[in-house]
């Protein structure tokens, strides 16, 4: 089992390297930034906990930053909403909770994750954090530690985890870039959680799939991001 999982991670790393060849310096450096509008949103949103969904259904918590929150999109265009619709269409009876906060770092996520995981009947956590740590040049080791603690807290409650990976631009320095890119598959391997190597696969660099800021997916891009997540999520689902 361990060898099989290791093989899966190696394949993911190969895929990440292939994807990275198509990621330009400008887009990736910008992709980890928080626009002025997002910062303004963050000032009001981050103080509020995500809305608790009262439902007897098993829950999937979409936990992350602006990419999860659906920055610049209508609620029905955000990936958590689209994921809910995909699940219903395929006969999966889950309640998807959008616990995304624009501008969130791994530390911010760690500080609020206990409240999120205390919701009734949470079965799966989709963990999408780390891009804002990169923006602020925070130590990769600290980001990795924060994500590790989030994963461990989820697993302690028998909550399954899907970890979403991101990439780093070369402007951060070769060592930082290597450490950052490898942090996500390392965590997935260490804790044996499901892993999506690059959340924005098929979206980054395509102006037709991004908002005018060139950073956040538009409505069409969010559909592709939902497909990326849904594909990685399927092994965790129960009929």
pLDDT-derived band at 119 (thresholds 50, 70, 90) equals very high
Q: Does any domain span residue 64?
A: yes
User: pLDDT tens, 193-203?
Assistant: 999 999 999 99
pLDDT-derived band at 7 (thresholds 50, 70, 90) equals low
pTM confidence score: 0.82
Q: Does any domain span residue 231?
A: yes
Q: Does any domain span residue 45?
A: no
- Catalytically annotated residues: 66, 213, 216
How many domains does the chain divide into? 1
Residue 196: in which H helix or E strand, if any?
strand 194-196
What letter would DSSP give residue 123?
E
Predicted local confidence at residue 55, as pLDDT? 62
Q: Does any domain span residue 98?
A: yes
Q: Does any domain span residue 28?
A: yes
Q: Does any domain span residue 44?
A: no
Q: Does any domain span residue 103?
A: yes
Give per-residue burial for 110-122: e unless 16+ CB within 10 Å, then b.
bebbeebbebeeb
Task: Quote the domain boundaries for residue 176.
Answer: 2-37+50-236
CATH of the domain at 74: 3.40.50.1110
């Amino acid at each position: 089992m361990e060898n099989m999982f290791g093989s899966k991670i190696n394949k993911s790393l190969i895929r990440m390297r292939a994807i990275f060849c198509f990621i330009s310096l400008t887009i990736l450096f910008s992709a980890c930034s928080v626009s002025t509008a997002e910062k303004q949103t963050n000032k009001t949103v981050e103080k509020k906990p995500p809305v608790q969904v009262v439902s007897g259904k098993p829950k999937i918590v979409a936990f992350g930053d602006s990419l999860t929150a659906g920055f610049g999109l209508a609620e029905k265009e955000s990936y958590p909403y689209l994921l809910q619709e995909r699940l219903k269409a395929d006969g999966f009876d889950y309640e998807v909770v959008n616990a995304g906060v624009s501008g969130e770092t791994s530390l911010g996520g760690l500080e609020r994750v206990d409240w999120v995981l205390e919701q009734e009947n949470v079965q799966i956590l989709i963990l999408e954090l780390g891009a804002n740590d990169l923006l602020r040049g925070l130590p990769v080791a600290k980001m990795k530690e924060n994500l590790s603690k989030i994963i461990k807290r989820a697993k302690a409650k028998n909550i399954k985890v899907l970890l979403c990976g991101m990439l780093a631009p070369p402007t951060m320095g070769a060592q930082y870039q290597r450490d950052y890119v490898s942090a996500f598959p390392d965590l997935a391997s260490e804790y044996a959680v499901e892993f999506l190597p690059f959340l924005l696969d098929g979206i980054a660099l395509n102006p037709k799939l991004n908002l005018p800021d060139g950073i956040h997916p538009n409505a069409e891009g969010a559909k592709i991001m939902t497909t990326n997540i849904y594909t990685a999520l399927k092994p965790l689902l129960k009929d």
